[in-house]
Structure 1
Amino acid sequence: MTDTNAAGSTGIANLEPLAQAKDQKAWYWYDWANSAYVTTIGTVMFGPYFISLADKAAENAGGDRVPVLGMNLEPGSIFFWLITASTIMGAFLLPPWVRSQTAPPTRSACSASSRGPGRRSPR
């Protein structure tokens, strides 16, 4: 018995899952490389630059600490406080935002798939 694939050609087996697996592997490699790049730039390059800016701010404030939101922090710790604050904000703000961006399925779309071919919806 032969199957017809989405392209309309007749073959022995449906090879679409293999094509999807190849695409998924490509995205895995892309995500891995992109994550490594962002992590490297964010921590190795931006961290020391940000700490040097905090050192200059401490010198301009006339001491060895920088006042931030009522706390006197050492310049070397401000970068880590910033990372912690952004992670906590993301944990609380992103889930409601994602929920607001995804629309729930409509009733007509759900019921249309369960009616089967050729059947009309009741009015």
Structure 2
Amino acid sequence: MGFWIFCLAMNLLLPVIMLVFGRLFQTRPPKTINGLFGYRTARSMKSQEAWNFAHRTCGRLWFKLGLVLLPVSAAAMVPALGRGTDAVGTWCCVVEAIQLVVLMGSIVPVERALKQNFDDFGRKR
């Protein structure tokens, strides 16, 4: 049971991080373009305006996804309750892998929005 609780906590970590950074990116994105912190893609770093837009867009998306992933991840761990550590560990990894796919998949709509709103030089269309 202890390992299951640990895995549940670990599986709730990513949705909570998405909620926190989603809200942070919406309200206070990194002030300047940098290579260390923030939503860093070639398209988002072309101009300060594109940088700010990418963070607002990504922030809204991450916050929404975090709200959905949090209860879904908790519910997804219920079938592993009472099983052995190998089964719980495997189930935990599967849930985490799905969360990572969702996180990485969030790049697609943000990049699409950047492409629709900014030219190749980062200027607003």
TM-score, reference length from structure 2: 0.29
Higher helix share: 2
Q: Which has the higher contact order (CA 8 A, sep 6+)?
A: 2
TM-score, reference length from structure 1: 0.29
Structure exhibiting the larger radius of gyration computed from Cα positions? 1
